[in-house]
Amino acid sequence: MSFSEKRIKTDVLVIGGGMAGCFAAIKAKQRGLDVTLVDKGHIGKTGATHYADGNLMYFRPERGHNITDWLNLISVRGEYLNNRDWVEICLKESRNRYDDMVSWGVPFYKPDGKLFINRADPSWTGMDDIIGSTDKGAVWENVDFVSRKNAPALRKKALDYGVNILDRIMTCELLKQDGKVIGAIGFHTTSGDLYVFQSKATVIATGSGAFKAENNLTNYWTGDGEAMAYRAGATVSGQEFCRVGTDMPIRTAVRSQKPADISNKTVDTLAHYPFITGGLASWLRPTLNAEGGAVIGAAWEVHCGRAPLYSDLDAWSEGQMKWIKYYIDSKGAEGEERAGFDFFKRGKVQFPATRIWLAPTAAGAGIWPEDMNLATGVPGLYAAGDSCATMACGASYAGLGFGLNHAAVTGSRAGLGAAEFALKLKSTDSDGKLLAGVKNNVCNPLERAGGFTAAWLTQIVQTITVPYYILGVKKEDRLRAALTLAEFINNHLSPKVMAKDPHEWRMAYEAKNMALIAEMRLQASLFRTESRGSHFREDYPRRDDPTWLAWVKLKEKDGKIAAFKEPLPGKWWPDLTKKYEERYPRMFPGE
């Protein structure tokens, strides 16, 4: 098969067109550069930004918000593995990014013409037990996007500013020459045309990876950015923190226009295992903020033979019920529909523990940034949004609108960082031989006459990632077994994947990327010999502060994934003179 080849010369190439990618593109464009923004979907209608029609953190000191309270709240949720410098930046720049969006025409939920601000008081969320001792009265606030209107507005604004937008481009590999990234190669998934980008700086904003585990509407999240950056020599982090959740019944409910009888909101009411903080945040935004701790707990219960499981609404505190009432009252019918059943009747609600999906790593896990402008260890390469490992969320997704705020803040910084880098450079022409080699790699699935289908390779990867007993409830023997298979898949199956048309070519590359990030997640999960946040080790059920107040970094070494520790600065450690139970009021099974 032969398709035509397009060559595009640009100052800044941004890969991924969600919140982070659009911010990066617009900010780089505002510095007067030529900017190209590409995505494998149609920008404005794809990616997690579009799907996560959720909320945006709203930090405003004039509303009585105390930065230390908010920092502590996020650190407790992230079980102290948060990079607090990044949390602070996300808080302080929240206003600027919101103002940007307002000026760009991104609509926010304004019933009666007035901006609606969600309030969260720790005493309502059942979190006062952990926050209360140090920050009584800490209040969290966020604002709502208008469903599915934010991403189209960002697209429009990027076009208005003169960003060159290319839809349906599957970017496969970065071009690296003389130690720096000088562009990327991809193809158009409809026409099959090959696209060779020559850029002075490149920003990856492709989100995370979720193994097409069905049920969570993030099948486009296949770790493309993390995988191509890793292959180009970048360091990756936060891979052991895999969230799980369940929401298939919600889609069924949307379909039938009836409230869901069962949802992850229900699951999070499992007072039995609220060991990952923020249960009620999940209740609020079922498809977005599923930290999933309760789901791992549920998987454990089924594992132990205690199915069927019930959520015990009688065990909810008055504060928690107050929260629900506030939510339903403020959101009207939508709130009731999302609630799915009458909370106020209380009693027990059954949920299907078999319906579990493996979600991506927490926001702020991915490609490791070396500075506060999101430059990676590879010159010319920047990362933003859910593709970058600021580790702002630590060991567990913060929820509450932190994710989209993080995407806007890091996108903006990465765009400006990439622009500054590009301004100092002349464009580098790629070496013909090198280019031919990368092209050959990229086109391999399409040119291969026989081999494995992308659909089959995807299924094979799912067998070592999706079941609860691998990346949900983890144990050394199973992780080792899965890792052996992941290495086999990467060495023997991925190189033989084939595609009969450009659509399958995308699926083939996605399957290859998923296989690689599966190996990363298994490697990191095996390496961290403790439990923390959304990482639960059956064989190490406790947090081990002296050993593991550290991040796990992964980097290619001699053709293999090597794991090593990056210690957390001592100033961010919890007070180790406090009793363990005070540092970690949430228990893992087996503790």
Partner 1 sequence: MSIERIDAGLCTGCGACVDSCPMDVIRMDEKGEKAVIKYPEDCMLCLYCERDCPVDAIYVSPEKKVTPLLSWG
β-sheet bridge partners, residue 535: 532
Residue 3: what are its φ and ψ, rounded to 5°? -120, 165
Q: Which residues contact 492 (CB under 8 A, 6 or more apart)?
A: none
- Residue 142 identity: N
Q: Which one, 60 or 258, has the nearer CB to partner 1?
A: 258
* CA nearest neighbour of 415 among 6, 17, 9: 17
Query: How many other CB atoms are there within 10 angstroms of residue 447's CB atom?
Result: 12
At residue 324, the 3 state secondary structure works out as helix
What length does the chain have? 591
Rg (CA), the chain: 23
* Residue 251 engages partner 1 in binding (rule: CB under 8 A): yes
Q: Nearest 5°: CA angle at 174, between 161 and 376?
A: 80
Q: Which one, 295 or 460, has the nearer CB to partner 1?
A: 460
CA distance 209 to 517: 8
The two three-digit tokens of residue 241, written as one number: 């923190």
* Residue 123 engages partner 1 in binding (rule: CB under 8 A): no
Query: How many other CB atoms are there within 10 angstroms of residue 500's CB atom?
Result: 14
Q: Which one, 395 or 460, has the nearer CB to partner 1?
A: 460
β-sheet bridge partners, residue 173: 185
Q: Which one, 218 or 525, has the nearer CB to partner 1?
A: 218
Stretch that binds partner 1, among 38-46, 192-200, 264-272, 305-313 (CB under 8 A): 38-46
Stretch that binds partner 1, among 3-11, 36-44, 343-351, 422-430 (CB under 8 A): 36-44
DSSP string spanning 138-183?
--EEEEEBPTTTHHHHHHHHHHHHT-EEE-SEEEEEEEEETTEEEE
Structural contact between residues 237 and 393, judged by C-beta atoms closer than 8 angstroms = no
Stretch that binds partner 1, among 24-32, 97-105, 452-460, 551-559 (CB under 8 A): 452-460
Least distance from partner 1 to the Cβ atom of residue 333, Å = 17
**Residues binding partner 1: what is the number (CB under 8 A)?**
32
Using the Cα atoms of residue 441, residue 443, residue 446 and residue 449 in order, give the sign of their dihedral. negative
Q: Which of 212, 478, 528, 586 binds partner 1 (CB under 8 A)?
A: 212
* Residue 500 engages partner 1 in binding (rule: CB under 8 A): no
* Residue 293 engages partner 1 in binding (rule: CB under 8 A): no
Interface positions, 159-178, toward partner 1 (CB under 8 A)? 167-168
Q: Which of 46, 246, 387, 525 binds partner 1 (CB under 8 A)?
A: 46
* Residue 350 engages partner 1 in binding (rule: CB under 8 A): no
* Residue 354 engages partner 1 in binding (rule: CB under 8 A): no
Stretch that binds partner 1, among 192-200, 252-260, 476-484, 581-589 (CB under 8 A): 252-260
* Residue 453 engages partner 1 in binding (rule: CB under 8 A): yes
Is-cis flag, bond preceding 308, omega within 30?
yes
DSSP string spanning 493-556?
IGGGEE-SSHHHHHHHHHHHHHHHHHHHHHHHHHH--S-BTTBEETTB-S--HHHHSEEEEEEE
* Residue 47 engages partner 1 in binding (rule: CB under 8 A): yes
Per-residue mark of binding to partner 1, 298-337 (x: CB under 8 A): ----------------------------------------
Per-residue mark of binding to partner 1, 368-407 (x: CB under 8 A): ----------------------------------------
Least distance from partner 1 to the Cβ atom of residue 578, Å = 45
- Is residue 116 classed exposed, middle or buried when 0-12, 13-18 and 19+ CB atoms within 10 A define those classes? middle
Q: Which one, 225 or 533, has the nearer CB to partner 1?
A: 225
* Residue 491 engages partner 1 in binding (rule: CB under 8 A): no
CA distance 234 to 226: 8
The two three-digit tokens of residue 321, written as one number: 């019920």
Q: Which one, 180 or 506, has the nearer CB to partner 1?
A: 506
Q: Which one, 344 or 456, has the nearer CB to partner 1?
A: 456
* Residue 256 engages partner 1 in binding (rule: CB under 8 A): yes
CA distance 143 to 146: 10
Q: Which one, 436 or 455, has the nearer CB to partner 1?
A: 455
Q: Which one, 92 or 148, has the nearer CB to partner 1?
A: 148
Q: Which one, 439 or 503, has the nearer CB to partner 1?
A: 503
Least distance from partner 1 to the Cβ atom of residue 187, Å = 12
* Residue 456 engages partner 1 in binding (rule: CB under 8 A): yes
* CA nearest neighbour of 12 among 425, 374, 390: 425
In angstroms, how far is CA 407 from the centroid of its own chain?
10
Q: Which one, 256 or 577, has the nearer CB to partner 1?
A: 256
CA distance 237 to 368: 6
Tell me 314's DSSP state. Answer: G
Stretch that binds partner 1, among 29-37, 305-313, 325-333, 455-463 (CB under 8 A): 455-463
Stretch that binds partner 1, among 214-222, 373-381, 437-445, 470-478 (CB under 8 A): 214-222
The two three-digit tokens of residue 458, written as one number: 């995807």
CA distance 469 to 74: 28
* Phi-psi label, residue 346: left if phi above 0, alpha if psi -120 to 50, beta otherwise: left
Q: Which one, 303 or 503, has the nearer CB to partner 1?
A: 503
* Residue 200 engages partner 1 in binding (rule: CB under 8 A): no
* Residue 45 engages partner 1 in binding (rule: CB under 8 A): yes
Q: Which one, 10 or 46, has the nearer CB to partner 1?
A: 46
Q: Which one, 103 or 256, has the nearer CB to partner 1?
A: 256
Stretch that binds partner 1, among 42-50, 340-348, 349-357, 400-408 (CB under 8 A): 42-50
Q: Which of 80, 187, 211, 220 binds partner 1 (CB under 8 A)?
A: 220
Interface positions, 501-560, toward partner 1 (CB under 8 A)? 503, 506-507
Residues that bind partner 1 (CB under 8 A): 40-42, 45-47, 50-51, 148, 167-168, 189-190, 212, 214, 217, 219-220, 251-252, 254-256, 452-453, 455-456, 459, 463, 503, 506-507
